[in-house]
Amino acid sequence: MESRLWRLRRQARAPGWVGLWVPWHALSVPWHARRGPLRDAVRTLWTHLGVADGARSGPRFFTVMVQAHVEQAREAVPGLDFARVVVFDTRWTALGAIAGVPSAPAAAAARVPTPLLEFPGGHAPQSPAASATRTTSIFWAGACHSRVRCSLRAALGGGVRACGDVLAPDAFDAALRDATWALAPRGTTHASFMLARAVLAGALPVVVDDATPACASRESCCGPAFAPRAPPPRGAARAVAARLPYADLGVDWDRIGLVAHASDVSGLGARIHAVDDVHGRRARVAALQPLFTPRGVAAYVAFKLAACFDAGG
Protein backbone atom coordinates (compact mmCIF):
# COMPACT_ATOMS: atom_id res chain seq x y z
CA MET A 1 0.00 0.00 0.00
CA GLU A 2 2.84 2.40 0.81
CA SER A 3 4.44 1.80 -2.59
CA ARG A 4 1.08 2.35 -4.33
CA LEU A 5 0.60 5.67 -2.55
CA TRP A 6 4.19 6.64 -3.41
CA ARG A 7 3.36 6.19 -7.09
CA LEU A 8 0.27 8.38 -6.58
CA ARG A 9 2.07 11.03 -4.53
CA ARG A 10 1.49 13.77 -7.13
CA GLN A 11 -2.25 13.29 -6.66
CA ALA A 12 -2.08 13.11 -2.86
CA ARG A 13 -1.00 16.70 -2.29
CA ALA A 14 -2.25 20.28 -2.19
CA PRO A 15 -0.58 23.69 -2.75
CA GLY A 16 1.63 24.74 0.13
CA TRP A 17 1.98 21.22 1.56
CA VAL A 18 5.05 18.99 1.74
CA GLY A 19 4.47 15.24 1.85
CA LEU A 20 6.63 13.13 4.17
CA TRP A 21 6.69 9.84 2.28
CA VAL A 22 8.22 7.44 4.79
CA PRO A 23 7.75 3.63 4.87
CA TRP A 24 6.39 3.85 8.41
CA HIS A 25 5.48 0.17 8.58
CA ALA A 26 9.11 -0.89 8.08
CA LEU A 27 10.23 1.66 10.66
CA SER A 28 7.72 0.44 13.25
CA VAL A 29 8.69 -3.26 13.07
CA PRO A 30 11.62 -3.83 15.49
CA TRP A 31 13.10 -6.73 13.51
CA HIS A 32 12.84 -5.14 10.07
CA ALA A 33 16.21 -5.17 8.25
CA ARG A 34 15.79 -1.55 7.11
CA ARG A 35 14.83 -0.15 10.50
CA GLY A 36 18.25 1.27 11.48
CA PRO A 37 18.95 3.06 8.18
CA LEU A 38 15.35 4.31 8.05
CA ARG A 39 15.61 5.73 11.56
CA ASP A 40 18.67 7.72 10.57
CA ALA A 41 17.05 8.84 7.31
CA VAL A 42 13.93 10.09 9.12
CA ARG A 43 16.01 12.10 11.59
CA THR A 44 17.90 13.64 8.65
CA LEU A 45 14.65 14.38 6.80
CA TRP A 46 13.09 16.08 9.84
CA THR A 47 16.21 18.22 10.30
CA HIS A 48 16.67 19.07 6.63
CA LEU A 49 13.04 20.14 6.14
CA GLY A 50 12.74 21.88 9.50
CA VAL A 51 9.74 19.77 10.48
CA ALA A 52 10.50 20.15 14.18
CA ASP A 53 11.96 23.66 14.28
CA GLY A 54 8.85 25.20 15.83
CA ALA A 55 8.37 27.77 13.07
CA ARG A 56 4.83 29.02 12.58
CA SER A 57 5.37 29.92 8.93
CA GLY A 58 6.78 28.08 5.96
CA PRO A 59 5.79 24.66 4.58
CA ARG A 60 3.10 22.59 6.17
CA PHE A 61 3.68 18.87 6.37
CA PHE A 62 1.56 15.75 6.06
CA THR A 63 2.17 12.02 6.02
CA VAL A 64 0.15 8.85 5.52
CA MET A 65 0.83 6.08 8.02
CA VAL A 66 0.14 2.65 6.57
CA GLN A 67 0.06 -0.13 9.21
CA ALA A 68 1.77 2.20 11.64
CA HIS A 69 0.87 5.05 13.96
CA VAL A 70 2.47 8.06 15.59
CA GLU A 71 3.20 6.29 18.88
CA GLN A 72 5.15 3.56 17.08
CA ALA A 73 7.11 6.12 15.07
CA ARG A 74 8.09 8.04 18.19
CA GLU A 75 9.09 4.81 19.91
CA ALA A 76 11.30 3.90 16.92
CA VAL A 77 12.79 7.40 16.66
CA PRO A 78 12.76 8.93 20.17
CA GLY A 79 11.90 12.60 20.21
CA LEU A 80 10.33 12.63 16.75
CA ASP A 81 8.05 15.68 16.64
CA PHE A 82 4.72 15.61 14.77
CA ALA A 83 3.42 18.94 16.08
CA ARG A 84 3.51 20.43 12.56
CA VAL A 85 2.44 17.25 10.74
CA VAL A 86 -1.08 16.28 9.70
CA VAL A 87 -1.16 12.50 9.99
CA PHE A 88 -3.53 10.39 7.89
CA ASP A 89 -3.83 7.54 10.35
CA THR A 90 -4.86 4.07 9.12
CA ARG A 91 -4.92 2.61 12.62
CA TRP A 92 -7.25 5.04 14.47
CA THR A 93 -4.88 4.91 17.41
CA ALA A 94 -6.23 8.13 18.84
CA LEU A 95 -9.31 6.17 19.91
CA GLY A 96 -7.40 4.50 22.75
CA ALA A 97 -4.67 2.18 23.99
CA ILE A 98 -2.90 -0.72 22.34
CA ALA A 99 -0.60 -3.26 23.94
CA GLY A 100 2.76 -1.88 24.99
CA VAL A 101 1.98 1.71 24.02
CA PRO A 102 0.86 4.53 26.36
CA SER A 103 -2.87 5.15 26.18
CA ALA A 104 -2.48 8.91 25.68
CA PRO A 105 -2.12 9.56 21.94
CA ALA A 106 0.98 11.45 20.88
CA ALA A 107 0.62 15.02 19.71
CA ALA A 108 0.25 15.82 16.03
CA ALA A 109 -1.15 18.79 14.14
CA ALA A 110 -4.13 16.55 13.33
CA ARG A 111 -4.89 12.85 12.96
CA VAL A 112 -7.29 11.95 10.17
CA PRO A 113 -8.72 8.41 9.97
CA THR A 114 -8.10 6.71 6.61
CA PRO A 115 -8.77 3.12 5.49
CA LEU A 116 -6.38 0.32 6.37
CA LEU A 117 -5.92 -1.38 2.99
CA GLU A 118 -4.17 -4.49 1.79
CA PHE A 119 -3.97 -5.86 -1.72
CA PRO A 120 -2.39 -9.34 -1.74
CA GLY A 121 -4.40 -10.35 -4.79
CA GLY A 122 -5.76 -7.04 -5.99
CA HIS A 123 -9.18 -7.23 -4.29
CA ALA A 124 -11.05 -5.72 -7.21
CA PRO A 125 -14.37 -4.21 -6.13
CA GLN A 126 -17.38 -6.51 -6.60
CA SER A 127 -20.34 -5.02 -8.46
CA PRO A 128 -23.71 -4.64 -6.70
CA ALA A 129 -25.10 -7.36 -8.99
CA ALA A 130 -22.56 -9.79 -7.54
CA SER A 131 -24.19 -9.27 -4.13
CA ALA A 132 -27.63 -10.42 -5.19
CA THR A 133 -27.09 -14.17 -4.89
CA ARG A 134 -25.18 -14.33 -1.60
CA THR A 135 -26.07 -17.33 0.51
CA THR A 136 -24.15 -16.69 3.75
CA SER A 137 -25.73 -14.24 6.16
CA ILE A 138 -22.72 -13.28 8.33
CA PHE A 139 -19.05 -14.12 7.79
CA TRP A 140 -15.82 -13.66 9.68
CA ALA A 141 -12.51 -15.48 9.98
CA GLY A 142 -9.28 -14.24 11.48
CA ALA A 143 -6.59 -14.49 14.11
CA CYS A 144 -6.99 -13.79 17.82
CA HIS A 145 -5.71 -10.23 18.05
CA SER A 146 -8.30 -8.78 20.44
CA ARG A 147 -10.61 -9.88 23.23
CA VAL A 148 -13.82 -9.26 21.28
CA ARG A 149 -12.86 -11.82 18.62
CA CYS A 150 -13.23 -14.61 21.19
CA SER A 151 -17.00 -14.18 21.51
CA LEU A 152 -18.04 -13.76 17.87
CA ARG A 153 -18.57 -17.43 16.97
CA ALA A 154 -20.63 -18.21 20.07
CA ALA A 155 -22.81 -15.13 19.64
CA LEU A 156 -23.42 -15.29 15.89
CA GLY A 157 -22.63 -18.81 14.63
CA GLY A 158 -23.24 -19.58 10.97
CA GLY A 159 -20.37 -18.43 8.79
CA VAL A 160 -18.50 -16.89 11.74
CA ARG A 161 -15.43 -18.93 12.63
CA ALA A 162 -13.67 -19.16 15.98
CA CYS A 163 -10.74 -16.77 16.26
CA GLY A 164 -7.56 -18.49 15.20
CA ASP A 165 -9.48 -20.79 12.85
CA VAL A 166 -8.17 -19.04 9.76
CA LEU A 167 -8.92 -19.80 6.12
CA ALA A 168 -6.63 -20.10 3.13
CA PRO A 169 -6.65 -16.85 1.08
CA ASP A 170 -8.73 -18.25 -1.80
CA ALA A 171 -11.29 -19.78 0.58
CA PHE A 172 -11.44 -16.54 2.58
CA ASP A 173 -12.09 -14.43 -0.50
CA ALA A 174 -14.77 -16.84 -1.75
CA ALA A 175 -16.54 -16.84 1.62
CA LEU A 176 -16.42 -13.04 1.82
CA ARG A 177 -17.88 -12.65 -1.67
CA ASP A 178 -20.71 -14.99 -0.66
CA ALA A 179 -21.62 -13.10 2.54
CA THR A 180 -24.26 -10.42 2.99
CA TRP A 181 -22.65 -9.13 6.20
CA ALA A 182 -18.94 -9.23 7.14
CA LEU A 183 -17.71 -8.65 10.67
CA ALA A 184 -14.84 -6.19 11.12
CA PRO A 185 -13.75 -6.58 14.76
CA ARG A 186 -10.78 -4.56 15.95
CA GLY A 187 -7.33 -6.08 15.51
CA THR A 188 -4.08 -5.17 17.25
CA THR A 189 -5.35 -1.58 17.05
CA HIS A 190 -8.88 -0.27 16.66
CA ALA A 191 -8.65 -0.68 12.90
CA SER A 192 -8.69 -3.93 10.94
CA PHE A 193 -8.29 -4.86 7.31
CA MET A 194 -11.79 -6.32 7.29
CA LEU A 195 -13.57 -2.98 6.92
CA ALA A 196 -11.95 -2.33 3.54
CA ARG A 197 -12.14 -5.96 2.45
CA ALA A 198 -15.86 -6.07 3.22
CA VAL A 199 -16.53 -2.86 1.28
CA LEU A 200 -14.54 -4.05 -1.74
CA ALA A 201 -16.33 -7.41 -1.66
CA GLY A 202 -19.73 -5.70 -1.62
CA ALA A 203 -20.54 -7.05 1.86
CA LEU A 204 -22.09 -4.92 4.60
CA PRO A 205 -19.39 -4.27 7.24
CA VAL A 206 -20.12 -4.71 10.95
CA VAL A 207 -17.48 -2.82 12.93
CA VAL A 208 -17.02 -4.16 16.47
CA ASP A 209 -14.68 -2.19 18.72
CA ASP A 210 -13.14 -3.09 22.06
CA ALA A 211 -11.23 -0.83 24.45
CA THR A 212 -9.09 -3.60 25.94
CA PRO A 213 -5.41 -3.88 24.91
CA ALA A 214 -4.41 -6.09 22.01
CA CYS A 215 -3.37 -9.69 22.61
CA ALA A 216 -1.49 -12.26 20.58
CA SER A 217 -3.08 -15.71 20.77
CA ARG A 218 -6.26 -17.61 21.60
CA GLU A 219 -4.84 -18.39 25.04
CA SER A 220 -3.92 -14.81 25.91
CA CYS A 221 -7.08 -13.32 24.37
CA CYS A 222 -9.69 -15.84 25.39
CA GLY A 223 -8.31 -17.43 28.55
CA PRO A 224 -9.79 -16.75 32.00
CA ALA A 225 -6.62 -14.97 33.11
CA PHE A 226 -7.38 -12.05 30.80
CA ALA A 227 -8.52 -9.00 32.75
CA PRO A 228 -12.28 -8.40 32.42
CA ARG A 229 -13.50 -5.52 30.31
CA ALA A 230 -14.71 -2.39 31.98
CA PRO A 231 -18.20 -1.27 30.94
CA PRO A 232 -17.95 1.06 27.93
CA PRO A 233 -18.92 4.69 28.33
CA ARG A 234 -22.35 5.70 27.09
CA GLY A 235 -22.35 6.37 23.37
CA ALA A 236 -19.17 4.32 22.80
CA ALA A 237 -20.41 2.88 19.49
CA ARG A 238 -21.41 6.36 18.25
CA ALA A 239 -17.94 7.65 19.12
CA VAL A 240 -16.36 4.83 17.12
CA ALA A 241 -18.64 5.50 14.14
CA ALA A 242 -17.67 9.17 14.14
CA ARG A 243 -13.97 8.27 13.86
CA LEU A 244 -14.26 5.68 11.09
CA PRO A 245 -12.81 6.53 7.66
CA TYR A 246 -14.75 9.12 5.70
CA ALA A 247 -17.21 9.89 8.49
CA ASP A 248 -16.15 13.51 7.96
CA LEU A 249 -17.58 13.26 4.43
CA GLY A 250 -20.99 12.39 5.84
CA VAL A 251 -20.60 8.62 5.58
CA ASP A 252 -22.90 7.08 8.18
CA TRP A 253 -21.54 3.61 8.86
CA ASP A 254 -24.69 2.60 10.72
CA ARG A 255 -26.65 3.15 7.48
CA ILE A 256 -24.15 1.14 5.44
CA GLY A 257 -23.37 -1.66 7.86
CA LEU A 258 -23.47 -1.52 11.65
CA VAL A 259 -21.20 -0.26 14.43
CA ALA A 260 -21.15 -1.96 17.82
CA HIS A 261 -19.11 -2.15 20.99
CA ALA A 262 -17.77 -5.48 22.25
CA SER A 263 -20.25 -5.41 25.12
CA ASP A 264 -23.10 -5.46 22.56
CA VAL A 265 -22.03 -8.65 20.72
CA SER A 266 -24.73 -10.81 22.33
CA GLY A 267 -27.43 -8.67 20.71
CA LEU A 268 -25.64 -8.14 17.41
CA GLY A 269 -27.38 -11.00 15.61
CA ALA A 270 -30.79 -9.54 16.41
CA ARG A 271 -29.69 -6.11 15.14
CA ILE A 272 -28.45 -7.60 11.87
CA HIS A 273 -31.61 -9.62 11.26
CA ALA A 274 -33.78 -6.58 12.04
CA VAL A 275 -32.27 -4.57 9.16
CA ASP A 276 -34.90 -4.19 6.43
CA ASP A 277 -33.03 -2.05 3.87
CA VAL A 278 -30.27 -4.43 2.75
CA HIS A 279 -30.69 -3.39 -0.89
CA GLY A 280 -30.15 0.29 -0.06
CA ARG A 281 -27.11 -0.54 2.07
CA ARG A 282 -25.60 -2.52 -0.78
CA ALA A 283 -25.99 0.48 -3.04
CA ARG A 284 -24.25 2.70 -0.49
CA VAL A 285 -21.40 0.17 -0.17
CA ALA A 286 -20.98 0.17 -3.96
CA ALA A 287 -20.79 3.98 -3.96
CA LEU A 288 -17.99 3.85 -1.35
CA GLN A 289 -15.81 1.31 -3.13
CA PRO A 290 -13.69 3.82 -5.11
CA LEU A 291 -12.60 5.43 -1.82
CA PHE A 292 -11.19 2.10 -0.63
CA THR A 293 -8.46 1.99 -3.25
CA PRO A 294 -5.03 3.68 -3.27
CA ARG A 295 -6.30 6.18 -5.85
CA GLY A 296 -9.32 6.97 -3.68
CA VAL A 297 -7.15 7.51 -0.60
CA ALA A 298 -4.82 9.79 -2.58
CA ALA A 299 -7.76 11.89 -3.78
CA TYR A 300 -9.12 12.10 -0.22
CA VAL A 301 -5.74 13.24 1.15
CA ALA A 302 -5.56 16.02 -1.44
CA PHE A 303 -9.16 17.07 -0.75
CA LYS A 304 -8.70 17.08 3.01
CA LEU A 305 -5.51 19.13 2.89
CA ALA A 306 -7.02 21.73 0.57
CA ALA A 307 -10.48 21.95 2.13
CA CYS A 308 -9.85 21.55 5.86
CA PHE A 309 -6.31 22.65 6.67
CA ASP A 310 -5.64 25.35 4.06
CA ALA A 311 -5.63 28.16 6.61
CA GLY A 312 -3.86 26.12 9.28
CA GLY A 313 -7.17 24.98 10.79
Per-residue pLDDT, 235: 72
Per-residue pLDDT, 62: 95
36-50, 168-182, 210-224, 289-303: range with lowest mean pLDDT: 210-224
Per-residue pLDDT, 115: 92
Sequence ranges of the domains in the chain = 2-117+295-308, 128-292
Per-residue pLDDT at 120 exceeds 70: no
Per-residue pLDDT, 310: 58
Q: Give the rounded percent of residues in the chain with a pLDDT score beyond 70.
A: 85
Would you say the pTM of this structure is higher than 0.85?
yes
Rg for the chain, CA atoms, rounded: 20
Per-residue pLDDT, 95: 55
Q: Give the rounded percent of residues in the chain with a pLDDT score beyond 90.
A: 49
Query: pLDDT tens digit string along 212-261?
Result: 777 878 888 887 655 545 566 667 778 888 889 999 999 999 999 999 98
Class of domain 128-292: alpha beta
Per-residue pLDDT at 122 exceeds 50: no
Per-residue pLDDT at 96 exceeds 50: no
Per-residue pLDDT, 269: 93
79-83, 92-96, 153-157, 179-183: range with lowest mean pLDDT: 92-96
Average pLDDT, integer, range 156-184: 93
